[in-house]
């Protein structure tokens, strides 16, 4: 069968299924989208831009249904869970124009989460784990 034609009998053909539910899964879906793209290396402004893009149907649906304030709070919460700053322009945390490039102070007792000087890799100790408990890789960015 040619690649461009869809075969309904092919068990390996990718197909999507919508499930009707009364439960509102918007919050979990938004967190999942934000974490996925954050882990791919996107910053908080790039993730918000994806929510605004109508070609990303699920992400854009969250923005349309819950509003930009909800999306920004969700992105900030996800980034904070991973120890990454997400300060939005015009917020109290962004009063200093150099705040986005300034080193980030680590939470008490977590010196391994402080931002390294520019040009150096992110220091991660061998016992560091992500929020789900998996080992965090040592990234040289």
What are the residue boundaries of the structural domains of the chain, listed by start?
Answer: 24-87, 110-141
Tell me what pLDDT residue 137 has. 66
Segments in the chain below pLDDT 70: 1-4, 91-133, 135-141
Q: What global pTM score does this model have?
A: 0.56
Tell me what pLDDT residue 136 has. 65
pLDDT tens-digit profile of 6-45? 777 888 877 777 788 888 889 999 999 999 999 999 999 9
Q: Name the 3-class secondary structure at 6.
A: coil
DSSP state of 12: T
What distances in angstroms separate CA 26 from CA 47, 55, 91, 95, 110, one per listed residue?
A: 16, 18, 25, 31, 32
**Sequence-distant (≥ 6) Cβ neighbours of residue 52 within 8 angstroms:** 60, 63
What distances in angstroms separate CA 110 from CA 19, 103, 134, one per listed residue?
A: 42, 15, 17
In this structure, are residues 48 and 75 in contact, taking their beta carbons and an 8 Å threshold?
yes
């Amino acid at each position: 069968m040619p690649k461009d034609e869809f075969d309904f009998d092919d068990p390996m053909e990718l197909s999507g299924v919508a499930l009707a539910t009364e439960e509102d899964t918007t919050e979990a879906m938004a967190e999942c989208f934000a974490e996925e793209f954050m882990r791919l290396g996107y910053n908080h402004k790039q993730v918000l831009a994806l929510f605004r893009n109508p070609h990303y149907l699920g992400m854009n649906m969250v923005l349309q249904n819950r509003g930009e304030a909800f999306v920004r709070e969700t992105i900030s919460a996800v980034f904070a869970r991973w120890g990454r700053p997400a300060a939005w322009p015009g917020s109290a945390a962004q009063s200093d124009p150099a705040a986005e490039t300034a080193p980030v102070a680590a939470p008490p007792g977590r010196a391994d989460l402080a931002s390294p000087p520019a040009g150096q890799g992110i220091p991660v100790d061998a016992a560091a784990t992500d929020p789900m408990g998996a080992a965090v890789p040592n990234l040289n960015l």
